[in-house]
Structures are given as C-alpha cells and as structure tokens.
C-alpha cells in the first residue's frame, strides 16, 4: 500500500473514531495531494506525498513559533505534527550519515571534496545514500556536503 492509500485508510479510521484533529489534518494532506495530481495529470509517488506532509508540518511549525503553549491551537498543531510524522519514513540523522560514510568508502568523501560546486557535492552524497537504500533529508545532505567541503 502506498503512502497516499495509507493516509486514506487512516482517514476512514479517524472518521469512524470521530477523531476530529486527525481527520482534518489528513484531509488537508489528501487535498494537497489531489490538487497536485490533477495539475500534473499523474499519480504522486510516495516521496512526493512525503514532501507534502513535510510541507504541512513546516507550516504548522511556523505557526507554532508564534503561539504560546497555553493556546488551544498550540496543542492542536502539535498533535497534527505528531500524527503526520507517523506517516514519514524514518531518516538518518547527521551523525548516522557521517558514520555510514566513515564505514563506507573514503572515495565518497574525496568525490565530495573534488566536486566543482556544492550542488554536485550534494548529488554525490545523495547517490551514495540511495545506492545504499538509506532515507535522508536533502537539507541534511546539503549540510553534510558543506561539512566535508569546508
């Protein structure tokens, strides 16, 4: 079952359980997915759906930075983020990525250092992690590339 189908299934469960917060946030995500699919004319991949989820979480985080913890919306947005994070695949931390590279090939570090630009260095690292079946966030890979190029 794909990520979008998993969200739809959870939406049905949330509706049966009368869980309003979960129901509403999953509808937002599915609405974004549906809009994107209708605009592009193709079904979204799990990675693309995960990007939508991260975008919603990021929006919630921005709003949370302006709210006080005693605000009822603070609690609601925190709960929404907790729900949404449960749909995302676990990704490696920066330290785990460094360890994986250290145990892997030193040639990767040399390739990163030899890259003509930061973008190419990020590409080298992304290929390395994909080849090894690891889930990583682009922003973390960018930070790691800058670390090795410094």
| 107 class by beta-carbon count within 10 Å (0-12 exposed, 13-18 middle, 19+ buried) | exposed
Residue 23 has a pLDDT of 98
Residues 6+ positions from 138 with CB-CB distance below 8 Å: 122, 126
- The residues near 27 (Cβ < 8 Å, ≥ 6 apart) are 11
The topology (CATH level 3) of 3-85 is Hypothetical Protein Yqey; Chain: A; domain1 (1.10.1510)
**Given this model, what pLDDT does residue 89 score?**
87
Q: Where are the beta strands (DSSP E) in the chain?
A: none
Q: Is 80 exceeded by the pLDDT of residue 112? A: yes
pLDDT 10s digits, 22-72: 999 999 999 999 999 999 999 999 989 999 999 999 999 999 999 999 999
Residues of the chain with CATH 1.10.1510.10: 3-85
Round to whole Å and give the CA distance between 121 and 100: 17
> 107 falls in which pLDDT band (50, 70, 90)?
confident
Res 146 pLDDT > 80? yes
Distance between CA atoms of residues 138 and 113, nearest Å: 18
Cβ burial, residue 120 (10 Å; 0-12/13-18/19+) = middle
Q: What percent of the chain has pLDDT over 70?
A: 99
- How far is Cα 10 from Cα 24, in angstroms, rounded to an integer? 11
Residue-level pLDDT at 36: 96
Which stretch of DSSP H or E encloses residue 63? helix 46-64
Residue 74 pLDDT > 90, yes or no? yes
């Amino acid at each position: 079952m794909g990520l979008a189908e998993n969200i739809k299934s959870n939406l049905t469960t949330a509706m049966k359980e009368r869980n309003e917060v979960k129901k509403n946030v999953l509808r937002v995500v599915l609405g974004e997915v549906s809009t994107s699919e209708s605009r592009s004319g193709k079904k979204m991949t799990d990675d693309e759906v995960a990007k939508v989820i991260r975008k919603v979480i990021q929006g919630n985080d921005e709003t949370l930075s302006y709210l006080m913890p005693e605000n009822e919306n603070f609690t609601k947005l925190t709960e929404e983020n907790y729900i949404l994070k449960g749909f995302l695949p676990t990704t490696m931390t920066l330290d785990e990525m460094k360890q994986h590279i250290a145990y892997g090939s030193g040639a990767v570090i040399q390739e990163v250092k030899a890259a003509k630009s930061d973008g190419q260095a990020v590409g080298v690292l992304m290929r390395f992690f994909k080849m090894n079946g690891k889930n990583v966030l682009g922003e973390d890979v960018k930070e790691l590339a800058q670390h090795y190029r410094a």
